[in-house]
């Protein structure tokens, strides 16, 4: 099955995004889709994440280090988990939700696949990242290769290390390290994305962004469902990790989106 058919089978169709949402995403390089996860889903995912963190211990996030396409696989200030595709049915929604896929399609077109599905939590007192794009080069406007969706497992606030973004920088044809003296610094135009748990924020990954410092005593948890154009390498080689039970559960459209079909 090709990815366009997979998107249709998963419910992507005209009208899932308003014109206002599309215009906002085009102009600013990000879009808060609002609350998508129910309280029940949120609780199930949080419980599953906690169980995985305990079970994996020191090995948590080891899949990220195995990938040549993740530039900063280890991050002292954050807890990570990799390959959530194969770690439970609770995670299927993160790469099959039609409204999220509609936004990904809006940025990347229909020739898309999942690149990786990972967990990141900014630890208390830590989590500040450089402003960065998730691609090694600046790209021409409109020729986008990568697009992330950040799923909030906690309310995001300035206090707890919410993601910052510099609106419109996907159109700048520059990378932050080329024009900023220090990309760790605040940027005069940056916005911190404050939103409630269960919300999903789409990030055109060429827009400069990064985690901020968590000043609270609780982790700031999120799942990154990261997509790329079909001609780009996946951060997680989905064929390498795929489990038979995952394939059985997600069916043909899911397999097509993972590019394992
Ligand atoms: O979790 C966040 O707030 C952003 C993380 C991010 O941009 C990254 O890890 O590349």
pLDDT at 8: 98
CB 235 within 8 A of CB 70: yes
Of all protein residues, the one whose alpha carbon is nearest to atom 1 of ligand 1 is: 211
pLDDT band at 241 (very low <50, low <70, confident <90, very high): very high
pLDDT at 261: 73
- Residue closest to 93 by CA, chosen among 194, 205, 223, 237: 223
* Structural domains of the chain, with CATH: 17-95+119-223 (2.60.120.620)
Percent of the chain whose predicted confidence (pLDDT) is above 90: 94
Mean pLDDT calculated for residue range 116-124? 98
pLDDT at 20: 98
pLDDT at 68: 82
Residue 146's H or E segment, with its range, is: strand 146-152
pLDDT at 69: 81
Computed over every residue of the chain, the mean pLDDT equals 96
**Is the pLDDT confidence value at 72 over 90?**
no
CB 147 within 8 A of CB 203: yes
Residue with tokens 């696989």: 73
- Which of 59-63, 194-198, 222-226 comes out lowest in average pLDDT? 59-63
Mean pLDDT calculated for residue range 43-54? 98
**Is the pLDDT confidence value at 24 over 70?**
yes
pLDDT at 74: 75
Q: Does residue 209 have its Cβ closer than 6 Å to ligand 1?
A: yes
Report the alpha-carbon distance of residue 121 to residue 234 in Å, rounded.
22
More confident residue, 213 or 74: 213
pLDDT band at 73 (very low <50, low <70, confident <90, very high): low
State the closest ligand 1 atom to the C-alpha of 148, by its place in the atom list counted from 1: 7
- Which of 41-55, 61-75, 123-137, 193-207 comes out lowest in average pLDDT? 61-75
* Polymer length in residues for the chain: 261
Q: Does residue 163 have its Cβ closer than 6 Å to ligand 1?
A: yes
Of all protein residues, the one whose alpha carbon is nearest to atom 2 of ligand 1 is: 211
**Is the pLDDT confidence value at 114 over 70?**
yes
State the closest ligand 1 atom to the C-alpha of 211, by its place in the atom list counted from 1: 3
pLDDT band at 204 (very low <50, low <70, confident <90, very high): very high
Q: Does residue 219 have its Cβ closer than 6 Å to ligand 1?
A: no
Edge-to-edge strands of the sheet including 163-165?
Answer: 191-192, 163-165, 209-211
CB 95 within 8 A of CB 50: no
Q: Which residues contact 106 (CB under 8 A, 6 or more apart)?
A: 17, 22, 25
């Amino acid at each position: 099955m090709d990815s366009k058919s997979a998107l249709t089978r998963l419910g992507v169709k005209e009208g899932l995004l308003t014109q206002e949402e599309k215009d906002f995403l085009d102009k600013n390089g990000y879009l808060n889709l609002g609350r998508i996860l129910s309280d029940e889903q949120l609780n199930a995912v949080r419980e599953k994440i906690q169980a995985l963190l305990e079970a994996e211990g020191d090995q948590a996030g080891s899949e990220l280090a195995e990938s040549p396409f993740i530039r900063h696989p280890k991050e002292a200030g954050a807890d990570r988990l990799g390959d959530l595709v194969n770690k439970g049915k609770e995670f299927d929604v993160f790469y099959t939700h039609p409204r999220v896929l509609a936004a990904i399609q809006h940025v990347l077109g229909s020739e898309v696949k999942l690149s990786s599905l990972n967990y990141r939590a900014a630890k208390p007192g830590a989590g500040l990242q450089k402003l960065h794009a998730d691609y090694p080069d600046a790209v021409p406007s409109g020729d986008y290769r990568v697009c992330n969706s950040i799923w909030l497992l906690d309310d995001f606030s300035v206090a707890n290390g919410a993601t910052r973004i510099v609106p419109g920088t996907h159109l700048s044809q520059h990378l932050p390290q080329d024009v900023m003296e220090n990309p760790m610094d605040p940027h005069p135009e940056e916005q911190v994305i404050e939103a409630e748990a269960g919300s999903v924020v789409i990030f055109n990954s060429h827009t400069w962004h990064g985690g901020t410092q968590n000043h609270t005593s609780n982790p700031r948890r999120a799942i990154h469902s990261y997509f790329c154009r079909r001609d780009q390498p996946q951060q997680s080689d989905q064929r390498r990790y795929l489990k038979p039970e995952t394939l059985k559960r997600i069916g043909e459209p899911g397999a097509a989106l993972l590019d394992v079909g």
